[in-house]
Each structure stands twice: as structure tokens, then as C-alpha cells.
Chain A
Amino acid sequence: MKHLRSIDELGLSGLMGLLQLTDHMAEINQRPVPKVPALRGRTVASLFFEDSTRTRLSFETAAKRLSADTMTFNVSTSSVNKGESLRDTVATITDMGVDAFVVRHKSVGIPWQISKWTSASIINAGDGAHQHPTQALVDCYTIREATHAQSFAGMKVAIVGDIKHSRVARSNIQAFTLLGASVVLVAPPTLLPPDVSHWPVSVSHKLDEVIGTVDVLYMLRLQSERMAQGHVPTLREYSEQYGLTQKRVLALKSDAIVMHPGPMNRGVEMQIDPSDVKNSLIHRQVANGVSVRMAVLFELLGSGSSLGGQA
């Protein structure tokens, strides 16, 4: 595997392979010194055009635990503003000797464009509303860890909220359905993409009709700018219709799982403290982030090296 840009590109066997590899990484992370020399001499550059300290730190921690060198470019504050083209920026960093770029950008397709301009591997850490494949891997791994299920066949997942603008939703729809889950999208019509008829999902506009039937309730973040854009009249109205309230928690099946990719909008899509939910996996999602990203980095850069030894 050369790049990780979308779940589609990864395919089912790639997805399963990475989930298995994540088990090894999780084991390493349990050790007193969670570090192996597997990627010694390799360099991973995080190229973040959009601020996301959480995701960036997750990747950089993963790289360090595999003994890779890391470089950080917060491009929003550097060269791009000085008229340097994206291509120039990538070429310059490539010349410094980089094996992989971890790329976050507000624009769709940037990871694919960049891969035309560098020989390094590209890991998509989120491109616009398009894809966020490592988040989907984290979520699949987290569900697998909680349910001990190898396949998601027979599992029903509701993804609730702003599907239209969500890269997490697009990656997760692909990943969950690849693994066999049935997915229902729950959102007001204004927060759904224009045409989902070719997606292997069903659609509902009423959370209350769905909530009692699902095994996984996946809540998406609603950004307050959606109100300014007229997608929803008010955040209050949205939260009444689609937010997770105490009452809705009670409507969940007793073993249903609640997830959220973070950061949460308390009082909007989450009207409760996640710790009030018995089966909230939100903290596991964060914890598993590092293991999953270690697996991705090792898969892309670790050819020929083993996971053994002490760093």
C-alpha cells in the first residue's frame, strides 16, 4: 500500500489488514516503554493547512512510538500566504527527505493532487467534506474492540447529523458498509448531500423513530456556521430534533454503543455528558487513535522492517 487517502481505495482486505495490525500496536502501547524501532530513519511530515491539534498529535505520537522522525508544518501560517503555490511547498518539503506526508486541508482532493507532486506516501488526515480514513479506522477498531465482532454483519449503525459537510460520515459510511453493517443516515434534508440514492444506506429524518433500533449511534458534530448558512433555523431546534438528550439515551437499546468523532458541541448534538451514557465509546475512540495511526504508518513505511526489538 502506497497511500491512505480514502476508505474506497483501501478496500475490505486493506481495512481488515489494518485492523489486525492495530491489535499489535495496541499491545505495544500497553508496554511500560511503548516504543519500537520499526520506522527508525523514516521521516513523517505533518502538513496541516487547517488547525487540528488532536489529529496532528495523534499522528505525531504514533510516528514517535515507531521511532520515526517527525516534522510539522502549519502551512496556514507560512508560505502559502506569500504566493508560494501548493506544489512548491510540497516540492520543498520533499527535498528535505520525507517518506510520508500526513495532510489535513479544508479543500477536497488535496491528498490526490499532492501525490502527483511527490514520491512520498500520502496519508489523508481529512480533506474538506470528503474523506477522513484514519477516523473511520479508529471507529471500526473501537466498535470491534467493544463488541468483539470480526464482521459487522447484522449490526445497525445510525449516523446522525451533518452528513452533507462531514468527511467523517463519508469515510465511515464506506467503512461500516464494507464490514457488513447496515447504515441509516439521520438528518434534516438540508444536511444531507443532494443525491444519496446510490449509497448503500437508508435515510431517516426522525431520530426518535430510529434510536430504539440501532446497535451503534454515531453522533456528528454540528458546526454553528450551518445556522448562518440557513441549513437549520436555530441550533436549539436542531438539538431538539437531532441532539442526544437524556430521554433519548433511555430509548437506546440496553447494549447500544454511542460514538462521536470529537470535538463535541455540548448543548447542541450532545445534550448530556458522555459519561452519563453506559456504553459511550468516546474515550476509547481517542485512545485507539494512536494505535490505528501507528498501524497505518507501519503499513505504508515499514516494508522490510519488523515490529520487534526495543527502541
Chain B
Amino acid sequence: MSKSLVIKGGTVINRKSQEVSDVKIENDCVIEVGKNLKGDIQLDASGCFVSSGFVDLHAHLREPGKEEAETIETGSRAGALGGYTALVAMPNTDPPQDSVAVVDFVREQGKRAGLVDVVPSGCITLGRQGESLAPMAELAHAGVTFFTDDGNGVQDAALMRRALEYAKGLGVTLAQHCEVAELTKGAVMNECSCCTDLGLPGWPAIAEELMVFRDIELVRITGASMHFLHLSTKRSVELVRAAKRDGLPITAEVTPHHLSLTQELLASYDPVFKVNPPLRSIEDIQALKVGLLDGTIDAIATDHAPHPRRDKEMSLDLAPPGMLGLETALGVVLAEGACEIRDVVALMSWNPAKIARIDNRHGCDVIAGTKANLCVFDPQLTWSVVPERLASKSINTPYIGRTLRGRVRHTIFQGTTTVIDGQAQK
């Protein structure tokens, strides 16, 4: 008989309720939610919220291929510390996740680490080259539910149309990195007055918006569903809002950094602020926040992109884009104060679980009978990032020197505590 675990005194957030309760867990399931529960192990949650564990739709775990930056184990640990119980692993690995063998490897490495559910995404096109479709049906059979060429947008409209049509029969989600490549050659930062001063090639908003527009129209004629990764501009939000009003099966995510950091930071010349799509203007941030509140944006996803120190100790144009996100996401989102706690749980757990099609085991209400994938977080605790203390193998966080608010206290993955009092348990 396995030991039971009780989370004491937290406010349990469910879709239709929010009250102070204890949560009792046995094996990998929640078995009771109520008052004065007793168990073999007790975890204090007073002053905290208890919700379903977070689900990240967008994590670059770098394994296989770039283990110098991150491994599935270190990325999983970073995820657990950020309150995540599931990470959708992006496919731009080496080799890329366009075959069953690689996808199985990623999933197995995830199981071996045993800290979160590592959900491998599949490539839309072979080798993410944008030329021919990856074996999507075979990958879907192997359990892949989320396909993307992230890092590359699928440039060829005919190929994207075919991918959408093909995906319809498979019950999977296609996700697009929206960037018309001809418009962003050599681009380093947002095209704005700031890039004018710095003499850096600009990444214009239109490069994102044109592809958002194109793919909305492809969804309209195919009827297949599509998810937009890391939207960053005001006009993108407007396009998605209108598409949703038309009833199209479209979802969208934003990253914590596009909600909190602006283009002006590039004037520090520090490549830690280089990311793709680039940091935008304060007006864009405001529009993204409105999108969060009115349901245009469905999810907050990290685009966690570790890079080894030497790759970021480069000039802005040569350094690779991307920043860490898993361990800071909650603290950034709550510090921004863009939405209520309930919305945060929806954006970081309930909705992304559905988009990734893993809502049978993640993003479920915390009630008897559901899988014990849970996050306990203190919404008030303020803290600052010490890069060397991050669990990620890399340190390219843009949040050094900023005060974050809200921190994960405990994380429970499949009934096992992966994080207790902010400490990873393995």
C-alpha cells in the first residue's frame, strides 16, 4: 500500500469553484478534496493556490543534439520548479523530431527523468525544411498530437494547406511559427525607431501578421484547426480576434517575455534580449494583455530556449535568438498583473492542456478521480532571479535584476512530489 499525501490548507482553483480545501493523493490520483484530511505525508499550502499543474506548449529542451545547452532532464527539472507537469518539447532538435524513433527517444528520456510529462511535438515538414510533409500519420500513431516546424514558419502556402488538410483526419493540432522569411533576413530586433538608432536590421511586425493572415484563411478553407505560437504584435491579436469571431478553430499563445519586455532593451547590446519573434513595443504589450483578458489569446507558453553562455557572448547579430522561461513564467505573469489568478491557471494549465490534446491527464479540475498533476503556488511571494541557481543548464534569463511576484512552492507529478518548498526533489 503506497503512502498517501495531503496538501493542507491551500485554495483549490477549479473551473467552477475556488475554496480552501485539503487535497488527498494516493498512487497517481487525487482521491479526495475536502476539510481536515489526513495522510502519511502532509504538505503545507496555506496562503497558496492549488491548481492543476502547468502545461507548457512551447519548450526547447535541446535533446537530442544540443545537450550543452539543456537536456531533457535539466529542462524537466526547470519545468517542475516552474510548476509544470507537462512540457511540449519543440522539434528543432538534431536530428529533428520528424521520425518515430526520435519522438520515442524524447518521450523515453522524459520518462527516465520522471519530473514532468515530456510531450514530443512532431515536425510538420521533413527536417523542418518546409519542402515535404513529415510522416504525420505515423507520428500521430506513435502518440504525437502537436505538430510544428517551430523556428521556421512553413513558408510554402500550398504545403501548409496540404498539411492542414492531412491533419484533419488525424485529430492533431498544427502550430505555426508566424514569420515570412523574406521579410526578416538578417533581422535582429523589432523594426522601430530603436533599430533605426542602432543600425540593426529590423524584424517588421508585418512579417508575422502576413503569415497569421494567410494561415487564418487556410484554416477557413480547410476547416482544420491551427495554433499560433508566440504572437507578438497588436495586429496579430486583432486578426486572431476577428478569426475567432468568425468561429474558426484557431488558438494562440503569447510568451511571458512578450508580455513584460520591450524592444528598448536591445539598446543594452546584450544578446540575452534577442529572441524570435523580437521584443516589441509597449503598445504591442498592451494589445497582447487585452487579448489575454478577452479570450483572444488562449495560452501563455514560455518558448524556453536555452543557449550555452559562449553562444550568447556574441554580437547581437551573431548570437542565437531565445531566452529561458520555464522557471520564471509564473513570477513574470503575476508581476505583470495582467489577469486574475483564475485566468492565469486557465492560460497556463487548462487551455494549453486542451490545445496539446493531453487534457485526459493534465489541466483537469482538482477533484477525486483525476490524475494528481498539481501545482501549489504562492501568488504574493516576491523574488529575484539568480541565474547560477536556475535548474536549467543555461543561464540566458532576461530577468536578472527584476523583481518577480509569485512562486511555485510544490509540484506534484503523477502523485509524486517533484518540488517541495521550491526545491526540486530529484
Contact = CB atoms under 8 A, between A and B. Distances in A.
Given A167-B199, A196-B196, A197-B193, A110 B310 contact: no
A51 B64 CA distance: 39
Nearest to A229: B185
Contact of A195 (B196, B313, B316): B196
Given A195-B192, A197-B193, A130 B315 contact: no
A105 to B, nearest CB: 7
A195 B199 contact: no
Interface of B is mostly: loop
A170 B193 contact: no
Given A86-B313, A113-B315, A108 B196 contact: no
A193 B315 contact: no
B269 A108 contact: yes
A131 B197 CA distance: 9
B195 interface: yes
B310 A107 contact: no
A130 B269 CA distance: 11
Given A86-B313, A87-B313, A107-B318, A112 B196 contact: no
Contacts of A128: 199-200, 315, 317
B317 A194 contact: no
A129 interface: yes
Interface residues on A, range: 20 to 34
B193 A130 contact: no
B191 interface: yes
A198 interface: yes
B314 interface: yes
Interface in B304-326: 310, 313-318
A205 interface: no
B268 to A, nearest CB: 8
Interface string A193-230: 11111110000000000000000000000000000000
Given A85-B310, A194-B202, A195-B192, A107 B315 contact: yes
Interface in B176-211: 188, 191-193, 195-200, 202, 204
A96 to B, nearest CB: 20
A112 B268 CA distance: 8
A165 interface: yes
Given A86-B314, A108-B317, A165 B199 contact: yes
Given A108-B188, A108-B315, A131-B199, 13 more contacts: A85-B314, A87-B310, A105-B315, A107-B316, A107-B318, A108-B199, A109-B315, A109-B316, A110-B269, A112-B269, A194-B195, A196-B196, A198-B193
Interface of A: 85-87, 105, 107-110, 112-113, 128-131, 165-167, 170, 193-199
6 contacts: A128-B199, A167-B199, A193-B196, A194-B204, A195-B192, A198-B193
